[in-house]
Structure 1
Amino acid sequence: MSTNPLSDPPAGVHSLWRLRGYLRPHAVALSIMAAASVAGVGLTIAIPLVTKALIDGPITDREIGPVLPLGLLALALGIVEALLIWIRRWVQSSAVLGLETAMRHDLYARLQELPMEFHSRWQSGQLLSRATTDLSAIRRFSGFGLLFLVINILQVTVVTGVLLNMYWPLGLVVAATSAPIVWLSMRFEKAYVVISRRVQDEQGDLATRAEEGAVGIRVIKSFGRSDHVSQQYESAARTLHGTSMDKVRLAAKFWTFLEVIPNFAVVVVLLLGAIGVGKGYLTPGELVAFITLMLSLVWPVSSLGVILAMAQEAMTAAARILEIFDTEPTIVSGTAVVVRPRGHLRFEHVDFAFPDAPDELVLRDVNLDLAPGETVALVGATGSGKTVLTALVPRLYDVTGGRVTIDGIDVRDLQLPHLRQLVATAFEEPTLFSMSARENLTLGRADATEEEIESALAVSQAGFVHDLPWGLDTRIGEQGMALSGGQRQRLALARAVLAQPQVLVLDDTLSALDVHTERLVEEALGRVLADTTGLIVAHRASTVLLADRVALLQDGTITHVGDHRELLDTVPAYRELLSAESEAVSA
């Protein structure tokens, strides 16, 4: 049975419905936990009542015979209570771990579903904090706080009723202690929820700084800014420490009062109870049972502060996680597939603006037609919109106006997994993962054979992987930091080539290569592009020569399309962009 509640509710359903959906697969476990908890509360009351019967009966009457049976009964009840606690905690732990696993899976899946515009707005540390710290807070409350909140409320209510029935004046003393506790709890809850959110947000900010410091360590060291970055991290850590101390002080005040009130009630009960026994209003056994039951309420009452604190942290964590779950993907998979893909790519009157600046068009009225098997080089000045244009093909972003089609089908109508099998992209800034070189290569095509892998490595001149300590099975480290920029680009290019797409998008993929390696890669790429539709972002004339045609992108629109030499002769702007490289090629 699927544990994913996100697939069930209709659009617009409240977030709490989604959280409740995680509990559905664990209904049996929750029922067992509830039954064990109720039975445990009953035994908590039964044992003192047996003690009362023992004191007021055989002990008072000096009869030895009934002592052993009543003592064994109390022992048996204690053993059963211990067994119920074990069952409850075992079932509870299994259910809670299953719930956390399901939430972690769905959170990661939702992050994968959300478009680039979402990830560009959110700090990675904030997302990391939600996937780790916040999920842990929910697990702790679900595994401890939620159950004991219910048990303790039930125990306090039932035991108070028993005490009122046993001797109502003392029962009223116990019941009267609930008024200040409820008042304190309400005040505590309002303040604690605010400060808990601040702490969790600041933890996310600190995680962002830690991650940026790790990923950008080469830049930090090269500029000698380690002390500066450390000071920024320390400042964020001090801010978090200050807020956390405010949170601790608030909780400490609350817990102190919760400790004082029950202990004060015990003193009053002892005093009034002794007077009641002296005047014959209750028996010694009743007083012992009363005090035993009274003491059994100390933990439920004193733990209320801890449980409420956990509840507020869990509620804050749930709200932060639901911010992600409630963000509806703006890029939704279509249903169509290309039956016989040829790779005919067209941009038809394409407009694009980023969602946070809808009135500022980055691309406007872009028209470009790439025939199957044709390669077009996209040339333009920095900031002209080249990278955004290439990102529209695999739907990393969606067009604002017009449409992008593959073989006549709007890419928005295609199934996303199918579209991203048709299109492979290699970026100027390659992303490699903390896994083996082989796993990085086969990320887009897990069923690739050894021959296909070797062929892709040959095209990208990435044979250096065989010189790594364990060859293709060498773990290359997070972000591929152990490799040079050119090596990372070549591995990323091999990954794109290995996918064997109908449309290959290269976003200035060769920028970090030396002239000799670039020439070898371009020769091999020429053979690959002969059978694949290619869209290449180019800054060098040598890369442009890979293309059948060149498209010049100026100020967000394509102004000229034609042969490289034709544009050199007729378009001054194009000639200025490639002047140095063009002279070298012409010579």
Structure 2
Amino acid sequence: MPQHDTPAAPRSTIRSLLRLWPYARPIRWYLTGSTVSALLASLSALLIPLVLRHIVDGPVAHRDTAALWAPCALLLLFGLLEAGLFGLRRWMLAKPLAVLERRMRGDLYARLQRLPVSFHDRWASGQLLSRATSDMFTIRLFLAFPLVFLIVNSTVFLVGTGIMFSLDWQLAVIAMLPAAPLVVLCSYFERRYSAAARKAQDQNGDLATVIEESVLGIRILKSFGRHRTMAARYRAQAVELRGTELLKARLLANLWAVIVGLPEVALGTALAVGVWQVAEGHTTAGTLVGFLSTALALRWPIESLGWLLAYSNEAATATDRFFEVLDAPLADAGDRPAATDLTPRRDGLRFEGVRFRYPDAPADSPDLLQGVDLHVRPGETMALVGTTGSGKTTLTALVPRLYDTTGGRITLDGVDIRDLPRPRLRELVSMAFEEPTLFSASVRENVLMGAPDADDDALDRALRTAQADFVRNLPEGTATQVGEQGLSLSGGQRQRLALARAVVGSPEFLILDDPLSALDVHTEALVEAALREVLADTTALVVAHRPSTVQLADRVALLEDGRITAVGTHHDLLESCPAYRELMSGERSLAR
């Protein structure tokens, strides 16, 4: 999982939020219309103090009740206009922002599908899930409200300040005295709140990971009675998140106290001075009422400043987290798109001086694969054997480029796999893993992931080959939903469906990573008999741990210390290779 501490380099909130422009551009006119509507609504509210000034200095001062009707109707009109414009603002943004969120989430999901397996090895699924859910909500809410009102409230504040200066410049100066300390405080707050917001969002991703692991591993937790341990881990993560959220609340509370307190003190001072001016005849009561009404109308733009800044920082952090995934490099650097398909030459599968080390391996550690040379002839089945941890699974994962080699090359019928587009490569090479993964879909959908265009006959043949006739007894046959991770099925049933998925498209190259490990002896024998027919028409590399699986192969390759140390038939290697004989007989394990 990647390090998600707060970066040492200074982060610009504005620069982060500007990265949203390519997504916001298609709805820019809706955002503009929403902003204009909110601005007109807020400015109409600023006209109310001027009407009040007219009422106090006019009809009230002259005791002319008949003259009250027109300004009172004007006040009602301004109130209705304000309500209608705010309603229009919300209506204009509802659908466009939903479309924007869907587009961003779609781009994130598409990027996750394209990123290499090494990326997913480093990232916890909960961190990715939180980026696709809570971070998307934060960004959408920012565009709907804080972005609009940062513009609107700033404009209203400037216009309102101008009105106050036009009414009484001395009172306006008193009211504006807190401006300088508020600017300094907001700058200090932004830095601290930004760090806390990033930490909280990362901790939220960690908590989502704990929940996801607990749900997916509930059978293990219950079997070993470890639910209390996981609950304690959850509580510890939740306590950390609570602490960070409380830190954010304290920061916001302190800011809010100053933002609200200083203007109130200034307003009280202005009120006292204004009353003195009215008593001395330096100004009118209507002017004082208009000034105070304008100042009170500016309370919301000022008091909302803390919340708007806080949410803008959270949105900037969510944007950074979103683009961390989109900016992650794809594994296309080694591609050389010179070929679009295999040549007529039949050369099978070749490994030539293949070296590999995992990207996060220590710099001083040796390569896991240290110059593998192996040739699987066309139409041949090669069994790959070796001790646990020798790199068998890693070697097979290099063929469809789940990982890229760090040295040497792999060819299919003489064509370097890096010269083939990845979609075409993965049409040519089909895999079945030792740990089968099924999706929350029907049996049919899971199997046909191996060949989406295959017909019912191909599906039936694949199920027969994998001895997966048990699906006929499921409630809805091949239309039965297998549930998340296929946990409604046994391990052997899941493995057989994964094998059917690998063979359904009659691939030219087949990679099987110990595909029969979860089967009983009787079922294994049936599957092996059916597999022989499939393997007769394809070039296959089969990771094997048991002699019965090895006997499916035409030849066997022994992988030791990152190299192929012996190749031959099963019987030849039993006679000529002590290491192979020990591996097959279990003598090495017993000696240990």
Instruction: Give the TM-score taking structure 1 as reference length.
Output: 0.91
| 2:145 aligned counterpart, secondary structure | helix
Contact 1:343 1:533 in 2 (8 A): no
**Aligned 8 A contact 2:347 2:377 in 1:** yes
* Aligned counterparts of 2:284 and 2:481: Cα–Cα separation in 1: 76
Match of 2:424 in 1: 418
Amino acid of the structure 2 residue aligned with 1:466: R
Equivalent of 1:361 in 364, 367, 376: 367
Letter in 1 for 2:484: E
Corresponding residue to 1:579 among 573, 576, 585: 585
Q: Which moved more, 1:510-519 or 1:67-76?
A: 67-76
Amino acid aligned to 2:227: S
The CA deviation string for residues 188-231 of structure 1, in whole angstroms up to 9 with x for no partner, is 22221222222222222222222222222222222222222222
1:122-165 CA distance string (max 9 Å, x none): 22222222222222222222222221122111111111111111
> Shift of the alpha carbon at 1:505?
0.7
Cα pair 1:347 1:405 within 8 Å, conserved: yes
Q: Is 2:320 aligned against 1:319?
A: yes
Give the corresponding residue for 1:69: 70
Letter in 2 for 1:350: V
When structure 1 is superposed on structure 2, of 180-189 and 162-171 the one drifting more is 180-189
In the alignment, is the contact (CA less than 8 A) between 1:331 and 1:397 conserved in 2? no
Match of 1:507 among 503, 509, 513: 513
Aligned to 1:350, what secondary structure does the other structure show? Answer: strand
Deviation at 1:65, TM superposition (A): 5.6
Structure 1 pair 407–281 and aligned structure 2 pair: CA distance change class (3 A)? farther
What is the Cα deviation at residue 508 of structure 1?
0.5
Q: Is 1:347 matched up with 2:348?
A: no
Match of 2:131 in 1: 130
1:420 Cα shift?
Answer: 1.1
Q: Which runs of 5+ in 1 are unaligned?
A: 1-13, 582-587
- Say if 1:386 and 1:553, in contact at 8 Å, map to a contact too: yes
Which residue type is aligned with residue 338 of structure 1? Answer: D
Q: How far apart are 1:275 and its partner, in Å?
A: 2.3
Aligned counterpart, 2:11: none
**Residue 167 (str. 1) matches residue 168 (str. 2):** yes
* Deviations, residues 277-331 of structure 1 (Å, cap 9, x unaligned): 2333333332222222111111111111211221222222222222222221234
User: Where do 1:229-268 residues align within 5 Å?
Assistant: 229-268=230-269
Aligned partners of 2:232, 2:536: CA distance in 1, in Å? 54
Aligned AA (2:352) = E
Cα distance change, pair 472–307 in 1 and its aligned pair in 2 (3 A): same
Matched ranges for 1:121-200 at <5 A:
121-200=122-201
How far apart are 1:69 and its partner, in Å?
3.5
For residue 460 of structure 1, report the CA deviation from its aligned partner: 0.7
Given that residues 514 and 545 in structure 2 are in contact (C-alpha distance below 8 angstroms), is that contact kept between their aligned partners in structure 1? yes
Aligned to 1:532: 538
Cα distance in 1, alignment partners of residues 88 and 317 from structure 2: 30
Report the secondary structure of 1:303's partner residue. Answer: helix
Distance 2:293 2:96 in 1: 33
Q: Report the Cα offset of residue 54 of structure 1.
A: 3.6
Given that residues 381 and 554 in structure 2 are in contact (C-alpha distance below 8 angstroms), is that contact kept between their aligned partners in structure 1? Answer: yes
CA shift, 1:514, in A, is: 0.4
- Deviation, structure 1 residue 556: 0.9
Specify the code of the residue in structure 2 equivalent to 1:364. Answer: Q
Matches within 5 A, 1:129-528: 129-331=130-332, 335=337, 336-338=339-341, 344-357=348-361, 359-528=365-534
For 1:432 and 1:262, locate their aligned partners in 2 and report how far apart those are by CA, in whole Å: 61
What is the alpha-carbon distance in structure 1 between the residues aligned to residue 380 and residue 49 of structure 2? 88
Q: State the distance in 1 between where 2:196 and 2:19 align.
A: 25
**Partners of 2:328 and 2:293 in 1: how far apart?**
52
Cα shift at 1:513: 0.4
- Deviation, 1:31, is 2.1
Equivalent AA in structure 1 for residue 242 of structure 2: H
Secondary structure of the residue aligned to 2:24 is helix
Aligned equivalent of 2:6: none
CA contact (8 A) 1:343 1:373 kept: no
Identify the residue that residue 560 of structure 1 maps to in structure 2: 566
1:16-35 matched pairs, under 5 angstroms: 18-35=19-36
Per the alignment, in what secondary structure is the counterpart of residue 291 of structure 1? Answer: helix
Distance 1:559 1:16 in 2: 56
CA distance in 2, matches of 1:541, 1:93: 64
**Contact 1:331-1:398 within 8 A present in 2 as well:** no
After superposition, the C-alpha distances for 1:453-509 in whole angstroms (9 at most, x for unaligned) are 121111111122222222222222211112111111111111111233211111111
SS at match of 1:310: helix
Q: Whole-Å Cα distance in 2 between the matches of residues 448 and 281 of structure 1?
A: 91
User: Which whole-Å deviations, capped at 9, do the CAs of 1:416-436 have from their partners, x for residues lacking one?
Assistant: 111111111110011111222
Query: Cα 1:327–1:52, aligned 2, differ >3 Å: closer, same or farther?
Result: same
Change (3 A) 1:277 1:134: same
Q: 2:118, 2:403 within 8 Å by CA — same for their partners in 1?
A: yes
- CA 1:28–1:339: 2 relative to 1, 3 Å: farther
8 Å contact from structure 1 (residues 568, 574) kept in 2: yes
Give me the whole-angstrom Cα distance separating, in 2, the residues matched to 1:450 and 1:155: 67
Query: Given that residues 351 and 399 in structure 1 are in contact (C-alpha distance below 8 angstroms), is that contact kept between their aligned partners in structure 2?
Result: yes
CA distance in 1, matches of 2:222, 2:375: 46
Counterpart-to-counterpart distance in 1, 2:140 and 2:447: 36
Distance 1:423 1:46, change over 3 A: same
CA deviation after TM superposition for structure 1 residue 85, in Å: 1.2
Provide TM-score, normalisation by structure 2: 0.91
Q: Secondary structure at the match of 1:399?
A: coil
C-alpha deviation, 1:64, in angstroms:
5.4
Any conservation in 1 of the 2:16–2:316 contact (CA below 8 Å)? no
The structure-2 alpha-carbon separation of the partners of 1:23 and 1:434, relative to structure 1 and needing over 3 Å to count, comes to: same
Residue 242 of structure 1 aligns with an amino acid whose one-letter code is G
Structure 1 CA distance for aligned equivalents of residues 17 and 380 of structure 2: 52
- 1:234 aligned partner, one-letter code: R
1:9 matched residue in structure 2? none
Q: Identify if the C-alpha distance between structure 1 residues 268 and 343 changes in structure 2 by more than 3 Å, giving closer, same or farther.
A: farther
* Structure 2 counterpart of 1:10: none
Task: Judge conservation of contact 1:149–1:307 (CA < 8 Å) in 2.
Answer: yes
* TM superposition shift of 1:243: 2.5
CA distance in 1, matches of 2:136, 2:392: 39
Deviates more, 1:189-198 or 1:69-78: 69-78
> Which segment is superposed worse, 61-70 or 188-197?
61-70
Give, in whole Å, the separation in 1 of the partners of 2:424 and 2:358.
25
Q: Please give the secondary structure, in 2, of the residue aligned with 1:504.
A: strand
Three-state SS of the structure 1 residue aligned to 2:160 is helix
1:423·1:501 contact (CA, 8 Å) conserved in 2? yes
Alpha-carbon distance in structure 2 between the residues aligned to 1:398 and 1:16: 35
* 1:447 counterpart SS class: coil
Task: Indicate if the aligned counterparts of 1:258 and 1:305 stay in contact, CA closer than 8 A.
Answer: yes
User: 2:124–2:209: 8 Å Cα contact kept in structure 1?
Assistant: yes
Match of 2:3 in 1: none
- Matched residue SS, 1:361: coil
